[in-house]
Amino acid sequence: MLTADNDFILIVDDNPTNLSVLAQALKASGFKVRVAADGETALAIASQHHPAIILLDVQMPGIDGFETCQRLKADQRTDMIPIIFMTALADTEHKVKGLSIGAVDYITKPFEETEVISRVNVHLKLRHLTRELETKNQQLQEFNQNLEHQVHLKTETLRQTQSQLVQREKLSALGELVTGIAHEINNPIGCIINNIDPAQSYIANMTQALQLYRANGEQITPAVLAEIERLDLDFILEDLPKIFKTIELSGNRIHDIAISLRNFARADIHTQQVTNIREGLDGTLLILGHRLKAIADKPPIQVHTHYGGTPQIACYPGQLNQVFMNLMANAIDALEEAIAQNQLSNPEIHLTTELDNQAIVVRIADNGPGIPPPIQTQLFDPMFTTKPVGKGTGLGLSISRQIIEELHQGSIQINPAVKQGAEFIIRLPLTT
């Protein structure tokens, strides 16, 4: 049954009797009907009023049904209208031709009214379902476009958030680095500064004594001798070399720190460099040295190094050092927490390197409270942290895994067999 007010069935036949019989039968079944006696009239009505379905006679004067069908299908305004051919030609050749140019069905003359009504109903239902499907497809396309837009916005927001968090993690590591360097460099700089005044005083006294000797030559009077005695040249000659030696040692210490900092902070992201990872481990210990020292009631954290095979490997030193910094800082955090809760009095960290089946294995272990097994499976998940709010980003271990696995084709894991404390194991292939 047609529903829209402008939906109708167009009957095209040059035989008035056929038009009358079909029109009455369709109207009796509740259909709206319009008729046309030739192909040209049918084309005009179809292009202007868009019938729901066309019953089209094959043999007509002027343009026949086949050409009329071809023109209807060639016009974007009418190409979707279902066409049912009506013909007395029952041979297969004509049916195949009609279907090949776009018809949906055939009705053979003379008509059986019930058959005509049945076929019309079937194709109207198919047309209705097709329209519904087109509408649903359009809605689905719009939904998909909107979804893609929303996903793009969400992805962009997530990317920005992730970038901010990664930047925050880098700033956190930078803060640890700056703090460590500040503590390590403060002592030698303080030593140099504190020795400048006595060194200048000694040099001034020696200069004055030399000037007195030069001015008096062999005629040194008791007064001149008393003045020289007051300058205490013997003590100056003994202490001044010690001051210069202390300044030299402090300068060397600053030089070593500068080299460690340079090695530690290399940001060679795009190219690998051949290096010995022991340099990165030692540099990390140097930078974190201030956190290992005894402060007030906190005992010193003892670090035991067990360096086995550490051949040079091609790697990204700056990124590896970031991993070492993260793991060691986490170990120190765990030990400090245990000390604060009076659970530990002899904090220790063990650094071990060894060769194993064409890989360098680095173990970083502590004797702190350890990590419960249920939490171990989540440690490397982004945003997961066991630290209080504001104390960690939850990205340190996630970024560390990315650096080890994606950049170096290695592996990083926590050792589940450790009964006390925690041990992280890094495997780096000798060739990447």
> Average pLDDT per run of 10 along the chain, which is 432 residues long?
66 90 89 92 91 90 91 91 83 79 85 85 86 86 84 73 58 62 74 85 83 73 77 83 86 76 59 85 84 84 88 85 88 90 90 90 92 80 59 67 89 88 92 64
Query: Can you give the pLDDT at residue 269?
Result: 54
Query: Can you give the pLDDT at residue 45?
Result: 92
Query: Can you give the pLDDT at residue 342?
Result: 86
Query: Can you give the pLDDT at residue 389?
Result: 47
Element at 385 (helix H, strand E): none
What are the distances in angstroms from CA 265 to CA 71, 260, 280, 401? 76, 8, 9, 19
The sign one gets for the Cα dihedral 143, 145, 146, 148 is positive
For residues 53 and 50, what is the distance between their CA atoms, to the nearest angstrom?
9
Of the candidates 345, 375, 351, 370, the one whose C-alpha atom is nearest the C-alpha of residue 426 is: 351
Query: Can you give the pLDDT at residue 335?
Result: 92
Using DSSP's 3-state secondary structure scheme, residue 419 falls into: coil
Which superfamily, per CATH, for 9-111? Response regulator (3.40.50.2300)
Number of Cβ within a 10 Å radius of residue 265: 17
Query: Can you give the pLDDT at residue 119?
Result: 85
Residue 414 neighbours by CB under 8 Å, 6+ apart: 371, 376, 379, 422, 423, 424, 425
Of the candidates 240, 294, 238, 289, the one whose C-alpha atom is nearest the C-alpha of residue 264 is: 289
CB 368 within 8 A of CB 400: no
Query: Can you give the pLDDT at residue 167?
Result: 57
Give Cα 152 distance to the centre of its chain: 14
Instruction: Spell out the domain ranges in the chain.
Output: 9-111, 266-432
Kindly report the CATH class assigned to 266-432: alpha beta
Angle at 307 between CA 263 and CA 414, to 5 degrees: 90
Using DSSP's 3-state secondary structure scheme, residue 349 falls into: strand
Query: Can you give the pLDDT at residue 396?
Result: 73
Map tokens 């982004």 to a residue: 382
Angle at 411 between CA 408 and CA 417, to 5 degrees: 160
